[in-house]
Amino acid sequence: MSDGYDLHICCMGAGYVGGPTMAVIAANCPKIRVCVVDLSKKIIDAWNSPDLPIYEPGLMEVVEKSRGKNLFFSTDIDAEIKKADIIFISVNTPTKTVGIGAGRAANVKNCELCARKIAEVSEGSKIVVEKSTVPVRTAEAVRRVLDCNEKGLKFQVLSNPEFLAEGTAIPDLMKPDRVLIGGVQSPEGLAAAEALVSVYANWVPREQILTTNLWSSELAKLVANAFLAQRVSSINSISALCEATGANVSEITRAVGMDNRIGKRFLNSSIGFGGSCFQKDILNLVYLCETYGLRECAEYWNQVIVMNDYQKKRFSEKMVSTLFNTVTGKKIAILGFAFKKDTGDVRETPSMFVVRDLVHEQAKVHVYDPQVKREDMWTEMDYTCKMSVANYPGLEEAVTTAPDAYAACDGAHALAVLTEWDEFKELDYERIYKSMAKPAFVFDGRNILDHDALRKIGFEVHAIGKPDPNKFSDL
């Protein structure tokens, strides 16, 4: 195509993966034209505005560097598919809610729809890249759909899973630990993989770009997330033991993490993991194991989910029992609703389950999060907890979104830190203490606060995996 670009890339899906990934490719490859397409005009309009549809540190700067030059956002899906040499499929693959494998298997309907659209409108052969997290052998289904085109076109299907973490997506993409590209081990498949390698090689050292067969690439993504989530559930199981025995989970993690074979990362105990990937990918792995008759393997990985659910439930129950076995009518401040700091993503956030439990106990919940919109909070609670204003009378009045942390805590019987936002470490807790009902309780679900300092102010502090001074006075 004689428009001055060496290559044309189209990405189907303008979400948390597609948008940032394509922005980074465009920023590092000025001779490649990159266009992100989506059915949602609202989302595309936001990508073309100063108010991006997702929050990610550094993302705005990267987008502004290339937008309108070699980075574009469009709803004209057909036209962009026709232009593209390489098409990324980066659409949502949620866990199925009904049918075979409901609650465990991934719903790859959106991937298939993308493949059908590509086959329908393409006028030339293309490389199609799975970017979405998908079950093993999804690429085979995509390839079969593409091969059924009636134009004689040839498509090569690659797997290129993302390994970015929300909150650090831009540095993760700019300096990745590795880039994984899986393809069919044929001359055509290897050539397609090399074409994608050459894109990443513009800024990623070649030795950090790994090429494998398709199935290894698809499975590697699930396994990576399963291993990370496993570490979180492992230390959270120990946090429960610490609270029962008077041990300190921070001291445990320090001692264990100094072992080079184990390492220090993902050993921070908390109310549990959230986000769009960990639970979905583990459930997908569980379903795969069940499908292939590996029952013991399925049970092993499912326990990671069981432990995560236990940790969230345990936290809610401790709040209620500590507040004299009732929170009915009491104001409870929730600091943080996003599943982690530096993102506005609320998918599977642990905060949601604590809020749900408190509402069931008839508490008056006041939530403050610097990036989460009330609309997004309701959307996720409706989708995941089946709790909405329409089907839960009084919900609108039971949950208030506060303009700041001080308003959330004013008059509260307790505050719970559920997202590790840095600003929560810097709050004036003497001011907060004076404004709260007494006794004033703090529940630190992320272990980010100075508990000794809070106790000197007058708070009764309860934290994940930390000994309770009222129970272990000898420590």
User: Where is the binding site for NAD(+), in residues?
Assistant: 13-18, 38, 91-95, 132-133, 166, 277-280, 347
Half-sphere exposure of 155 (CA within 13 A, CB side): 30
Q: Is 3 helix (H, G, I), strand (E, B) or coil?
A: coil
35 in active site: no
Task: Work out whether the CA dihedral 343, 346, 348, 350 comes out positive or negative.
Answer: positive
Q: How many CB atoms within 10 Å of residue 466?
A: 23
154-183 in b/e form (b: 16+ CB < 10 A) is ebbbbbbbbbbebbebbebbeebeebbbbb
CA distance linking residue 27 with residue 85, whole number of Å = 18
* Cα 408 from Cα 401, distance rounded (Å): 8
Residue 132 backbone dihedrals phi, psi, to 5 degrees: -65, 150
Tell me the HSE value of 463 on the side-chain side, using a 13 A CA sphere: 22
CA dihedral 20, 23, 28, 29 (to 10 degrees): 130
Structure tokens at 82: 């026709």
| Sheet strands (E) in 189-285 | 209-213
Tell me which of 11, 29, 277, 409 is the catalytic residue.
Answer: 277
Binding-site annotation: residue ranges = 13-18, 38, 91-95, 132-133, 166, 277-280, 347
- Which residue is it, tokens 């559920």? 418
372: left (phi over 0), alpha (psi -120 to 50) or beta: beta
Q: Return all residues near 64 (Cβ < 8 A) that are at least 6 apart.
A: none
For residue 180, the cross-strand partners are 210
- Catalytic residue numbers read 277
